[in-house]
A and B are shown apart, each in its own frame.
Chain A
């Protein structure tokens, strides 16, 4: 048995060519938390000045990390992790999350954004599309109630910042979820939030990292 193990290990170590991909897959399955590096992320991290950053985390999976701003086009920002996963934000509202396992591929959250950023409360609708495990797109609609949740202080790099807290409770045919936003009083922008990425991973925690200046 020991010989078998040694042999398998030796084979795995010297596997190469396209089989290298299999070995990577095997490694990824055995050590899901081992770091993986994406060439695009490496190029982005080498850029100076350092691109804008976000602190992110998935409380349900006990995962946390940093994302860098890769591109902004048509009002949508694409943020990248070191292993090549991305999220897109439109006015701070999450519209997609790819590469984390869940398949949030697109969203229409304009109604929510108007109320959250405008400081209002009331009923809105939001739409999400998900890539599912059968490579199909599921389009889903949700009804949401946005409420004011008082004021709160968020600490950004040691500096306390005054924010208004907004809560959005949504339900659809199959899911229900709650998003929370902390909107900075002085700028009217979302500086911290907890937003739903889909049934697979639940909420993602997102916090902006202010520039050094």
Chain B
């Protein structure tokens, strides 16, 4: 039985991917899903057409895609159309022994409509290796053999399909068109020859009608055939003959966010607990200063900065800043071990507070005896979490903050890389340079920071596009910023963070807040320790900075701010809603949904609706995008707090634009609250 299961799962992995980057044969879709949480990057090329697609399996039964396509000669010789599109697919029925899987797909549901199609498709697997697919499609799919819409029985509105892109700007949901007009059938088969090789054949009704006008692509036959090869790393290459006209190549790369480069990481192991008798013997002759100095050195070695220390009876209270670990739980575990080894055995309880710039985020109580009992227990992660007590903060006593902890100076100098996507003149622009960041924490909570950037290689500043926005140019002048700046003061701020009360955090920042704006920003966050919900309010008065990104301001200033709700949904989901006034003075709300994996890998999407009309907004109709965040430790297997974060917007315009102030409180505090601690607790003993 185990062998049968192994064979079945081995087969299931060979998921063929279409030129559109979604589960499919060659051009037509199938009713399959990727593995839950998987990210699939696909590049496909056929005559005069290239498609790059990122598909994310958001839920076991839903996947969403973002696609960037270029079509040469679509509007005549020498022209290239760059097209961005979003797809979403829903599995309506899972495959069973006797019935097929059924999927409803919406392709290019919100773009300019070049690829707009809707379909229902069914796939059934026979004898593990043979898959039969058939479906009915509307829109672009209703080409060869099209017949009048069977949905016409529900009303005559289904009989005709209005022209796409009704507002001329793209970006709006074209649900008025969905499933309307003629329909056509499609189908195909795949046969998995072995673990590596799969053969594919299909009938595609797509006539490439728009492409045929200027002879960009001609369809000679509806039959496509191809072979797909799966490499050792799991990526796949498909070669095909499409429509009797073109060779096709498709390459897909699969990323499973749950699988970091090494499962347990390659960073140094934690210091083992010394026998209690040995700790008693070595600490007996030491004064408290000596003990503190040794503890500080041992913590430093683990990447932790000791900033607070006080003792009452059998309890040691300690505050540390974590400069190394992606998971706060790992920082807690290391601190607890150091305490057990360096503090005399009379100290039985350790209250450990995680601090950020001198502000305590949360405190966790760990007992010495529990450490000894559980260090080598196979189930120590869960059992130690059950015994740890998380509280809002430490009762900080006067004199507890170490005299040598503040003022504290830190700096960082290294390379940086910026991207701009989807400019029709150059779809991928970048800027590479050197960045210097300085932080000076004068006293707990009060920090002066600056960040300087000097570009070295840049194609961002080659852009000569002029913003046609009718709104204040709060973001769309990015090309002018890139052109006219050289050495940039990215930010220069005085920031004060404090805790006005239990469950509350506050921040005030004054100065040059971000590349394009400077001013005053204030924020208050309510976030109980073990709550899934956090509520925040932020108010900012900002002025737009000069294009040279040095010290001057332009004439435009605005009062902007939001109230925000953050909710940590069960499972791996996180939702955020921000309601308020945006930089261009528009009012509205931003909705964000992220899938957050335990290890810190995040995939999310957002959109903003404001009182700016789609005509005023311009291309894209409203602000939206997807974002990816990858912990550096996920890529390298070594502990690091750094992340690679990238937001991808189809187009960056002025409506629904939000201020990018640093250190928003939710991001600073979240790692130390119970929800995040419990998720990362597997690393307490690592």
Q: How many residues of A contact B (CB 8 A)?
A: 63
Ordered by A's residue number, 29 sampled pairs between the chains whose C-beta atoms are within 8 Å are: A7-B457, A16-B413, A17-B414, A17-B437, A18-B323, A18-B412, A22-B640, A23-B414, A28-B636, A40-B271, A72-B275, A76-B376, A86-B272, A99-B268, A99-B269, A101-B265, A102-B263, A104-B264, A105-B378, A129-B379, A129-B381, A131-B263, A133-B263, A135-B599, A135-B680, A136-B682, A139-B379, A198-B263, A198-B264
Given A74-B372, A107-B378, are A135 and B640 also a contact pair (CB < 8 Å)?
A: no
- Could you mark each residue 106-129 of chain A with 1 if its beta carbon is under 8 Å from any beta carbon of chain B, else 0? 111000000000000000000111
B194 at the interface (CB under 8 A from A): no
- The answer to whether B274 and A100 have CB atoms under 8 Å apart is no
- The answer to whether B267 and A103 have CB atoms under 8 Å apart is no
CB contacts (< 8 Å) of B636 on chain A: these are 25, 28-29
- The answer to whether B379 and A131 have CB atoms under 8 Å apart is no
CA distance A170 to B274 in the complex (A): 33
CA distance A83 to B270 in the complex (A): 12
CB contacts (< 8 Å) of A105 on chain B: these are 264, 378, 380-381, 685-686
B129 at the interface (CB under 8 A from A): no
B415 at the interface (CB under 8 A from A): yes
Given A19-B412, A129-B378, A139-B378, are A134 and B264 also a contact pair (CB < 8 Å)?
A: no
- The answer to whether A106 and B414 have CB atoms under 8 Å apart is no
Nearest 10 interchain pairs by C-beta: A103-B264, A84-B268, A19-B414, A101-B262, A133-B260, A86-B269, A106-B378, A17-B412, A78-B272, A98-B269
* Chain A residue with Cβ nearest B341: A71
* Chain B residue with Cβ nearest A106: B378
- The answer to whether B260 and A134 have CB atoms under 8 Å apart is yes
CA distance A102 to B378 in the complex (A): 15
CA distance A29 to B272 in the complex (A): 27
* Chain B residue with Cβ nearest A80: B269
B456 at the interface (CB under 8 A from A): yes
- The answer to whether A103 and B265 have CB atoms under 8 Å apart is yes
* Chain A residue with Cβ nearest B273: A73
Interface residues of A in 127-149 (CB under 8 A from B): 127-137, 139
Given A22-B414, A23-B414, are A73 and B272 also a contact pair (CB < 8 Å)?
A: yes
CA distance A53 to B511 in the complex (A): 58
A34 at the interface (CB under 8 A from B): no
- The answer to whether B268 and A83 have CB atoms under 8 Å apart is yes
* Chain B residue with Cβ nearest A8: B415
CB contacts (< 8 Å) of B372 on chain A: these are 73-74
Interface residues of B in 335-390 (CB under 8 A from A): 372, 375-382
B679 at the interface (CB under 8 A from A): yes
Given A15-B413, A71-B274, are A135 and B378 also a contact pair (CB < 8 Å)?
A: no
CA distance A88 to B272 in the complex (A): 10
A46 at the interface (CB under 8 A from B): no
Report B66 CB to chain A, min CB distance, Å. Answer: 24
A156 at the interface (CB under 8 A from B): no
- Could you mark each residue 180-193 of chain B with 1 if its beta carbon is under 8 Å from any beta carbon of chain A, else 0? 00000000000000
Contact residue among A22, A40, A128, A131 (Cβ-Cβ distance under 8 Å from B264): A131
- The answer to whether A133 and B258 have CB atoms under 8 Å apart is yes
CA distance A28 to B274 in the complex (A): 30
Given A11-B414, A135-B683, are A108 and B265 also a contact pair (CB < 8 Å)?
A: no
- The answer to whether A38 and B632 have CB atoms under 8 Å apart is no
B301 at the interface (CB under 8 A from A): yes
CB contacts (< 8 Å) of A76 on chain B: these are 375-376
CA distance A76 to B261 in the complex (A): 29
CB contacts (< 8 Å) of B640 on chain A: these are 21-22, 25
CA distance A80 to B372 in the complex (A): 19
A95 at the interface (CB under 8 A from B): yes
A169 at the interface (CB under 8 A from B): no
CA distance A184 to B26 in the complex (A): 63
CA distance A28 to B639 in the complex (A): 12
Interface residues of B in 255-297 (CB under 8 A from A): 257-275
CA distance A12 to B273 in the complex (A): 37
* Chain B residue with Cβ nearest A176: B2
CA distance A21 to B640 in the complex (A): 8
- The answer to whether A133 and B378 have CB atoms under 8 Å apart is no
- The answer to whether B268 and A134 have CB atoms under 8 Å apart is no
- The answer to whether A99 and B265 have CB atoms under 8 Å apart is yes
Interface residues of B in 1-25 (CB under 8 A from A): 2
- The answer to whether B376 and A101 have CB atoms under 8 Å apart is no
CA distance A103 to B260 in the complex (A): 12
Given A14-B413, A19-B412, are A132 and B267 also a contact pair (CB < 8 Å)?
A: no
